[in-house]
Structure 1
Amino acid sequence: MYVKVEELGLALKVFDESPKRNKCECILLWNVLIKGCCKVGDLGKAIELFERVPERNSGSWNSLINRFMGNGDWKRAGELFEQIPEKNVAFWTTMVSGLCHNGEEGKALLMFFKMLDEGVRANDLTIVIMILAI
């Protein structure tokens, strides 16, 4: 709730006091905070949480990649993307979409073809983004 109303200080206080925050089954709490930090523009805190999270999942990765793309830092988003151990269509689509939104349609197209070369099947959203890009 605190994240939703952008009271990040209170959200972090509750989180820090939670005895279960370092257990993997509480990954949702970490992801909500990472996304909340990204939403309010506190990328430093988002990165700090991302580095401390006990287990990263697609929400953890995609929140940061989206924020980097939103800041126009597609190179840093790409570096983060390369660190993802198992890339699924959601990760690829995030990158393709972010590149398009940053005016890098050529790079988005290359990313799309790389995705296909790696055996990842595009979904409807990926296809729509690529159609709009070309």
Structure 2
Amino acid sequence: MVLRCGIEFDSFVRVSLADMYVKVEKLGSAFKVFDESPDRFESGSSALLWNVLIKGCCKAGSMKKAVKLFKAMPMKENVSWSTLIDGFAKNGDMDRAMELFDQMPDKNVVSWTTMVDGFSRNGDCEKALSMFF
């Protein structure tokens, strides 16, 4: 339908397609959408597409791929940092999550909450409370 309507290069459509593929665990198809996106290296709206792929890699446990994508991003926003931090936390690597959090240039309520949730999820309630305070 996307091809019939001629909207295959619409950035919103591409992000939505990649997100759908991530949700149904078809990461290869999500990467195909990403690779065929002509604006993926432009700053601005392309950050959403990068974040969807980073989240998909984290969900699949492919943290090396997620880090590689993160490093290649033309512009890293707070949500990009938090997505990768959350990925490490969900994969049980709080040391790496904390390392990224410490490197994050501008922390916000989302990044702090991500860390609190990560420590809590991984059974370190003391550290979660410490991060909260």
State the one-letter code of the partner of 2:36.
Answer: E
In 2, the alpha carbon distance for the partners of 1:63 and 1:109 equals 21
Number of positions where the alignment pairs a residue of Structure 1 with one of Structure 2: 113
**TM-score with structure 2 setting the length:** 0.79
> Which of 10, 16, 22 in structure 2 is aligned with 1:3?
22
Q: Does 1:85 align with 2:105?
A: yes
Q: Does 1:49 align with 2:69?
A: yes
Q: Does 1:16 align with 2:67?
A: no
Provide the residue aligned with 1:75 in structure 2. 95
Provide the residue aligned with 1:121 in structure 2. none
Secondary structure at the aligned position of 1:18 is classed as coil
Could you give the per-residue CA deviations for residues 14-51 of structure 1, whole angstroms, max 9, x where no partner exists? 21122110001211110111111111221111111011
> Which of 115, 118, 122 in structure 2 is aligned with 1:95?
115
Q: Conserved in 1, the CA contact under 8 Å of 2:61 and 2:91?
A: no
In 2, the alpha carbon distance for the partners of 1:41 and 1:109 equals 27
In 2, the alpha carbon distance for the partners of 1:38 and 1:54 equals 19
**Structure 1, gaps ≥5 residues long:** 114-134
- Cα distance, 1:68 vs. partner? 1.1
Q: Conserved in 1, the CA contact under 8 Å of 2:78 and 2:106?
A: no
Secondary structure at the aligned position of 2:75 is classed as coil
The percentage of counterpart residues that share the same residue type is: 59
Deviates more, 1:20-29 or 1:104-113: 104-113
**TM-score with structure 1 setting the length:** 0.78
Kindly report structure 1 stretches of 4+ aligned residues shifted beyond 4 Å: none
Provide the residue aligned with 1:36 in structure 2. 56
- Cα distance, 1:108 vs. partner? 1.5
